[in-house]
Chains A and B, each alone.
Chain A
């Protein structure tokens, strides 16, 4: 949400030929969205999920963030209020995404892949699951297969000049692994840069 409205979507570029392509709403499509932080990804993803949802089928928001403190609780409450009126049913699922219970003919928005990997890799009991990214990539690919439309939101964190500690580096590598798997799996791949929509693969309707 971040205070972005439709007029802030500055332009839509098809990276292959510079044209804007239209897609019929209601078709089942898997969409992957990434980009830097606070760029308007979540808001655009919500619009896409709603746009793609067929009539009379449920619209779900898969919330992956695990609240750690009051600040997180407040953030979650704010996001929930912002989604009010959009028609989303919120499903809290911070780990084990495969155990999600829903009507899979519906349209889904998963926000975010980043939080999901963090929860799966750095476990609540203090242990670290080094192979979490492989499991999460597989689970998300299967979720894409069985759901109607699904929009995945991730964060692009791979262009900074830092030599990180080994675990942070493994997390970055793991997230990039999942992102690449989802970009391959999805029909449409979008990078959001400060409200600008860059289409890297497939088609979009809005």
Chain B
């Protein structure tokens, strides 16, 4: 698994598309939906796709469903062995006022710490430039 993280709008997907020659059909886009709307994609990921994008949205979905994202990923450990996983880094701002956003921020942190440990390769994208972390 290759974990690619970075701040919002930094070019994570452009980098992954170029590096792995991904087409739209190769990508699973996680969607959390708006507050109170539930989770259009459910707290489920289709690991048959080569790339999982916006993992933070999956995590938000988990927060809303009372599921620990890391545990879900552990259960499906073998399915994402060869995946490319993209996640927005939301760890470096002010502690959010809303409870749900705080829970989200912390769960993303726990999830990425786990994935960072399991990953064969970790890349941070900053202003469109890839930075090899692992």
Q: Which A residues lie at the B interface, using CB under 8 A?
A: 15, 32, 34, 36, 156, 158-163, 172-173, 176-177, 179-180, 182-184, 189, 191, 198, 200-201
Q: Determine which of B89, B90, B91, B128 lies in contact with A180 in the assembled complex, contact meaning CB atoms within 8 Å.
A: B128
**How many Å from the CB of B130 to the closest CB on chain A?**
9
- The residue from B8, B10, B105, B128 contacting A184, defined by CB atoms under 8 A apart: B128
Contacts of B11 in A (CB 8 A): 180
Q: Contact check, A159 vs B9: say whether CB atoms are below 8 A apart.
A: no
Residues of B within 8 A of A (CB): 6-11, 88-94, 96, 101-102, 104-105, 108, 126-129, 131-132
Interface SS of chain A: helix, strand, loop or mixed? Answer: mixed
Contacts of A162 in B (CB 8 A): 93-94, 96, 101
Pair count A-B, CB < 8 A: 72
The reply to whether A189 and B93 form a contact with Cβ atoms under 8 Å apart is no
Q: Is the CB of A161 within 8 A of B96?
A: yes
Contact B93 A161 (CB under 8 A): yes
CB distance from A11 to the nearest CB of B (A): 16
- In the complex the two chains form, what is the Cα distance from A24 to B12 in whole Å? 33
Q: A161-B91, A161-B101, A162-B96 are in contact. List 10 more A-B contacts (CB 8 A).
A: A158-B6, A160-B92, A161-B104, A163-B101, A173-B8, A176-B7, A176-B8, A180-B11, A198-B131, A200-B129
Cβ distance B36 to chain A, nearest Cβ, rounded Å = 13
Give chain B residues whose Cβ lies under 8 Å from the Cβ of A184.
128
* Chain A residues whose CB sits within 8 angstroms of the CB of B94 once the complex forms: 160, 162
A32-B127 in contact (CB<8A): yes
Q: Which listed residue, B10, B105, B127, B128, touches A161 by the CB 8 Å rule?
A: B105
Q: How near does chain B come to A132, taking the closest CB pair, in angstroms?
A: 16
Q: Judge whether B7 and A200 touch: CB under 8 Å.
A: no
Choose among B90, B105, B127 the residue with the greatest number of A CB atoms under 10 Å from its CB.
Answer: B127
A-side contacts of B6, CB under 8 Å? 158
Question: Is A159 within 8 A of B128, CB to CB?
Answer: no
30 contacts between A and B (CB under 8 A): A15-B131, A32-B127, A34-B126, A156-B126, A158-B8, A158-B10, A159-B8, A159-B90, A159-B91, A160-B92, A160-B96, A161-B90, A161-B91, A161-B93, A162-B94, A162-B101, A173-B9, A176-B7, A176-B8, A176-B10, A180-B9, A180-B10, A180-B127, A180-B128, A183-B128, A184-B128, A189-B127, A198-B131, A200-B129, A200-B131
